[in-house]
Amino acid sequence: MHTGKGQVVELVLEDGVRLVRISCPLNLIPTPGQFLLASDGSDSPLPVPVFYTDSAADGFIAAPLTKTSWSPGQELYLRGPLGQGFEVPVSARRAALVAFDAPPARLRGLIKPALRRDAAVVLVCDFASDRLPDEVEVQPLSALAEVMSWADYMALDAARENLYKLGERIGWSNQAQALREAQILVCTPMPCGGLAECGVCAVNLKFGWKLVCKDGPVLDWRDLG
């Protein structure tokens, strides 16, 4: 983990979400699924978790977990990278990215690496998606069962409060068989970023409670339920 300063270079509207292009040292750039805590030094009491969306000159394009009032030129104080990111198997040749309840910004960082490995990529969501590579197929959530039978790896994104709904949609009973290689990015407030173990981001797994900020935010789907 590192600390340092960054700067807001520009604001980018994509998939109906306001993304932020951040200039920062290379050792602060998170991998897909990891996050940074960013503060603008104002009176705001809590830093904002930001996730990797795409690469950019001298930094990366970030998806803040909550709305911010940042503007171009704004100096940011950064801490990270934090948490566990996605670990896509090298053998994966059919990858499905499932944005269950939000636009797919936090999953976009997985697209280019998968395509570079000649993997087929399907994005599953009910939100409009801008500027996707031509190779990426887009399917609605209603096609999730069919996509599950096709994919050999799935990356899911869902809010903590919707995990049960997602489990019902997939089917808890057949998840071990259908999702042998699947990970989920659990989105929830992470105010302390692992420093205080405040418990705000705790999630109940099969083997007990874990903190999303430290043990996640990307978890093995098979551990849920």
Residue 124 phi/psi, 5-degree rounding, is -115, 115
Into which CATH architecture does domain 2-82 fall? Answer: Beta Barrel (2.40)
Please give the residue that has the higher pLDDT: either 130 or 127: 127
Residue 31 predicted with pLDDT over 80 = yes
Model confidence pLDDT, tens digit, residues 162-218: 998 998 888 754 554 555 689 999 999 887 777 767 778 888 888 888 899 889 999
In CATH terms, 94-223 corresponds, of 3.10.20, 1.10.10, 1.10.760, 3.40.50, to 3.40.50
What's residue 176's pLDDT? 45
| Portion of the chain with pLDDT greater than 70, in percent | 93
Which pair of tokens denotes residue 224? Answer: 């849920």
Residue 41 predicted with pLDDT over 90 = no
Distance CA 127, CA 206 (A): 31
Model confidence pLDDT, tens digit, residues 50-82: 999 999 989 999 999 888 889 999 999 999 999
Model confidence band, residue 44 (pLDDT cutoffs 50, 70, 90):
low
Where in the chain are the domains? 2-82, 94-223
Among the residues of the chain, which ranges form H helices?
111-116, 144-150, 163-170, 175-178, 212-215
Beta strands per DSSP E along 57-206: 59-64, 75-82, 94-99, 120-124, 137-139, 153-159, 182-187, 202-205
